[in-house]
Structure 1
Amino acid sequence: MRALVVEDDPGIASGLQASLKQAGYAVDLCSTVDAAWHSLSVEPFDVLILDLGLPDGDGLDLLARLRRQAEPVAGRAALPRNDLPVLIMTARDGISDRIGGLDSGADDYIVKPFDANELLARLRAMLRRAVGRSSPVIAYGDLVVDPAAHTVLRCGEAVSLGGKEFALLMTLLQARPQVLSKSRLESSLYGFGEALESNAIEVHIHHLRRKLGETLIKTVRGVGYFVPNEVLAGSGSP
């Protein structure tokens, strides 16, 4: 999962970045409306965490611009996703502020100062809603994945996954049965400036198949990877 944090206070931004990375997110930081719009236009994000009082404008203006975008058309540069889950994070704590933020298209609203664990829980709830899932865990065949606890059970037994392996598994499970390209998976797992080996995705896929079953993740040669909607023989079974 990749998050864009738009926050002009360096202390808050760095603290939030650390909490999100510890929770398995790839994180990019922006401090202005213009920088955020540029980032949204060139990279795919899974969630936007948005402050309102920014040096070059109000975060609500960025949100309004995001929500009114039409679908991209041939010959035009890609536009940010207008259905991107957005969490407003601000010191504006009035009821009218909260109502205005939610009515402007935010999916949730949290007031500073906040507890990092509450923010992470709100993000998990937003992301569940975004993919039409209500359960806090993901069950697939003999696998049970708990995003909050960062645990994976296979036939009731705990399976140890590295941070990037867990993030990749979550990305593929939540997107199923969509085929995700290697570049799309890289964008989900690595932020701007993060070191990335050319075969990193292939290595993570290999480890997941070894730990969770060879048929869990399918390859479409030359296109990408996906998890089928239907559980195949061997998926999640020892």
Structure 2
Amino acid sequence: MISDIQQALNSLSALPVPVQSANGMGRIFELYIMTGIAESLQCSGWTVRLLGSDGTPLRNGEPFVQRGGKPTGVAPASRGNLGQSSILIQRSSSAKPWEIWNGIQFRGRSGGLHEFDVSIVPSDLANDLRSLTNGGYPFGKPNVAIECKDVATPGSPDEMRALIARLYDVTLLEGHTYLTGGGQVSQIYPEDCSSPGYLLAHRTFRVANRLTKSALVRTGTFSVGAINMTSHYGISPYAYVSPGSAGAATFFREISNWIDANL
């Protein structure tokens, strides 16, 4: 899987890119999903750039870094390129830029922090967070939220419930005006509602899940109980995703098609 990640990064940059990955196959699987999405979009004509943690494009010889240890928020640009890397994606020079993140925590309405293994957010939101003295945590829901499971045994209903619960807490709805003092609610903010947000919040959790993209990607399969929850809540299940598999081809094709149509 590391060789697939390396090949994808080299393809994205047109130069050899050293990889600094976290330990463990689970984290490597996340990086495989992240870089595979970017490579698929590049093949569809999107502009793709590898970014350092300070938000600037990686220079020749700089490594693409996957953070090790506990999940965190977005690091401030003032610390330089010392933290985890991200990937900028943009349909065209006049289109809105987005960023693909790995292992970033999002703050929910409860105040709790929730990690999404792979997420996609507006690039302007990422830059807002980097501009803060200590960086910060996005408040709200990303446009794409992906949970990655490198586990051979079938995914249980509890695994799916845990993802649904996290998505529920980070989903801001148009009726949550208590957060804004009565004003219009956005889908996501840098840190909190004291700063301008991005995108309009949706009416219900179910609608929000259908107008954004939430997915659970596994190297194994799902139990029937887990699958039964996916259609109601608008979560896309992808099974048997690994390098060279039919499941991987389906996942990367469908996720890039959704991004191409909606971002």
Same fold per superposition (TM over 0.5): no
Q: TM-score interval w.r.t. the shorter chain?
A: 0.3 to 0.5
TM-score w.r.t. the length of structure 2 is 0.35
TM-score w.r.t. the length of structure 1 is 0.38
Structure (1 or 2) with the larger CA radius of gyration: 1
